[in-house]
């Protein structure tokens, strides 16, 4: 099931066309040209992607201490909070702190630019901070402010491109823009009026640029693969390519539940429910163990697909257990009157399983419950049908 927050994320990403890893350019005045610092930054970035936030924070605080005139440490400490938001986008408790850290980066960069208006690191990280401010604003439906941030951040990308048009890390940003600037207006007409303020995109060129960045970029390789995964999964309908990138990312960052869940989804999309259930069982068990990032949202999705596979296998007791877990987790996560597709579909499937088990009384309860919550796809229609005729008859 596609979550709406990803749509928002795609939109503002095309406006920003910047990412957490675009940091080092062949600029002799840039402190980030230091091989020692670049190595430390890459290590810290890997910690962030692998959801090892404490280890990442240690590295970036050390960078802040040892390189007091470089904004890299401050910027990436903020990126730790960004990934906390990505892991649980409905939780707004990190928003204020994230905004504060970004404003600190912007202020710090402005101070550096007052001393030297050609300080490349200050220019770049100021643009990055503005860009991520826009990403969160879009995630929270503050579209006009997000678009303003996007325009300002895009000018930074163009400046970087004018400095070095052969840099594969910069090419990542160009690829994002070219791809989504064409795709988003086609997919979401309501957003199209905002795009008159931005240059036209080129979807095919964007994919080619993202692939080059994935293969050759020093810092943006992982992020490029992540965006290729989302593009192929959500828009290109190329599950083979999506699965390829999901496997690579999950293998490199086995503790990242976002990449882990996408891997499971690619098996669902390709009809391999048995393999998908194995992937989601690990996700579900990781949630039970309290593993970082494997929250109730991850467990809810996992329990749904595990239950679905058991239903297809005819193991109805196990199927009922996991569908019930999905419903109960959804009740904790969803707002009254705005129940998720997971809750509606899990409750419907649970009723179907009860019918298959011969427990008509419980099945009827579930079908009536489905009718009492928000309709998703044809859940209401199906519930009405199975109230009249038991599922499986």
DSSP one-letter string for 311-338: HHHT-HHHHHHHHHHHHHHHHHHSBTTB
Q: How far apart are the first and last CA of the chain?
A: 28
DSSP 92: -
CA 154 to chain CA centroid, nearest Å: 21
Dist CA 77 CA 60 (whole Å): 6
Exposure letters 17-34 (e unless 16+ CB within 10 A, then b): bbbbbbbbbebeebbbee
Dist CA 178 CA 258 (whole Å): 24
Query: Collapsing DSSP states into helix, strand and coil, what is residue 143?
Result: helix
Dist CA 216 CA 168 (whole Å): 6
**What is the token pair recorded at 210?**
């993202």
4-236 and 265-388, same CATH topology? yes
What value does the mean pLDDT of the chain take? 88
pLDDT > 50? residue 22: no
Strand partners, 338: 335
Tell me the CATH class for 4-236.
mainly alpha
Query: Collapsing DSSP states into helix, strand and coil, what is residue 359?
Result: coil
Under 8 Å between Cβ of 264 and 279: yes
Strand partners, 335: 338
Long-range Cβ contact pairs of 36-41 (< 8 A, separation 24 or more): 37/63, 37/67, 37/70, 37/72, 38/218, 41/72, 41/76, 41/219
pLDDT > 60? residue 183: yes
The most distant pair of C-alpha atoms in the chain lies apart, rounded to whole Å, by 78
Q: How confident is the model at residue 8 (pLDDT cuts 50, 70, 90)?
A: very low
Q: Name the residue with higher pLDDT: 240 or 174.
A: 240
pLDDT digits (tens, 9 = 90+) for 95-121: 999 999 999 999 999 999 999 887 878
Q: What is the DSSP string of 164-203?
A: -TT-HHHHHHHHHHHHHHHHHHHH-GGGGGGGGGS----H
Query: At how many degrees (to 10) do helices 257-269 and 72-87 cross?
Result: 40
Q: Name the residue with higher pLDDT: 291 or 181.
A: 291
Strand blocks (E) in 69-190: none
CATH number for 265-388: choose from 1.25.40.10, 3.50.50.60, 1.10.645.10, 1.10.1060.10: 1.25.40.10
Under 8 Å between Cβ of 91 and 297: no
pLDDT digits (tens, 9 = 90+) for 319-373: 999 999 999 999 999 999 999 999 999 999 999 999 999 999 999 999 999 999 9
**What is the token pair recorded at 382?**
């199906």
Under 8 Å between Cβ of 87 and 293: yes
**Closest C-alpha among 52, 42, 10 to residue 254:** 52
Q: What proportion of the chain, given as a percentage, has pLDDT over 70?
A: 90
Of 32-46, 122-136, 177-191, the one with minimum mean pLDDT is 177-191
Under 8 Å between Cβ of 140 and 130: no
What burial class does residue 240 get, using C-beta atoms within 10 Å of its C-beta: 0-12 exposed, 13-18 middle, 19+ buried? exposed
**What is the token pair recorded at 221?**
């390789």
| pTM score of the predicted model | 0.88
Tokens 């293998």 — which residue?
A: 251
Dist CA 151 CA 392 (whole Å): 55
Tokens 């796809």 — which residue?
A: 377
Domain extents in the chain? 4-236, 265-388
Q: What is the DSSP string of 53-64?
A: HHHHHHHHHHHH
Dist CA 159 CA 374 (whole Å): 48
Dist CA 281 CA 275 (whole Å): 10
Query: Collapsing DSSP states into helix, strand and coil, what is residue 390?
Result: coil
DSSP 377: T
pLDDT > 70? residue 28: no
């Amino acid at each position: 099931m596609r979550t709406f927050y990803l749509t928002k994320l795609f939109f503002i990403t095309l406006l920003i066309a910047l990412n957490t890893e675009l940091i080092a350019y062949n600029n002799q005045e840039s402190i980030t040209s230091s091989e020692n610092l670049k190595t430390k930054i890459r290590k810290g970035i890997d910690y962030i992607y692998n959801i090892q936030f404490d280890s990442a924070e240690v590295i970036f605080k050390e960078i802040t201490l040892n390189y007091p005139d470089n904004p890299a440490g401050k910027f990436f400490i903020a990126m730790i909070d960004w990934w906390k938001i990505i892991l649980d986008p409905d939780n707004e408790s990190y928003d204020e702190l994230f905004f504060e850290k970004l404003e600190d980066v912007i202020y710090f960069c402005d101070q550096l630019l007052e001393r030297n208006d050609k300080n490349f690191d200050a220019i770049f990280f100021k643009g990055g901070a503005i860009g991520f401010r826009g990403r969160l604003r879009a995630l929270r439906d503050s579209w006009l402010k997000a678009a303003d941030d996007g325009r300002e951040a895009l000018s930074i990308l163009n400046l970087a491109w004018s400095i070095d048009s052969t840099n594969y890390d910069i090419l990542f940003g160009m690829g994002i823009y070219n791809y989504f600037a064409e795709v988003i207006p086609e997919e979401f007409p309501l957003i199209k009026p905002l795009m008159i303020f931005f240059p036209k995109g080129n979807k095919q060129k964007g994919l080619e640029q993202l692939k080059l960045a994935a293969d050759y970029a020093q810092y943006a390789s992982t992020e490029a693969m992540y965006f290729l995964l989302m593009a192929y999964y959500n828009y290109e309908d190329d599950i083979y390519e999506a699965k390829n990138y999901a496997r690579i990312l999950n293998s490199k960052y086995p503790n990242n539940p976002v990449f882990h869940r996408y891997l499971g989804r690619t098996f669902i999309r390709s009809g391999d429910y048995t393999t998908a259930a194995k992937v989601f069982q690990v996700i579900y068990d990781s949630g039970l163990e309290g593993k970082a990032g494997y929250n109730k949202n991850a467990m809810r999705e996992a329990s749904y697909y595990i239950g679905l596979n058991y239903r297809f296998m005819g193991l109805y007791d196990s199927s009922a257990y996991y569908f019930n877990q999905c419903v109960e987790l959804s009740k904790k996560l969803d707002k009254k009157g705005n129940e998720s597709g997971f809750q509606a579909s899990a409750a419907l499937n649970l009723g179907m399983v009860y019918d298959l088990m011969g427990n008509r009384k419980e099945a009827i309860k579930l079908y009536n419950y489905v009718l009492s919550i928000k309709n998703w796809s044809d859940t209401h229609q199906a519930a009405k049908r199975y109230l009249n005729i038991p599922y499986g008859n």
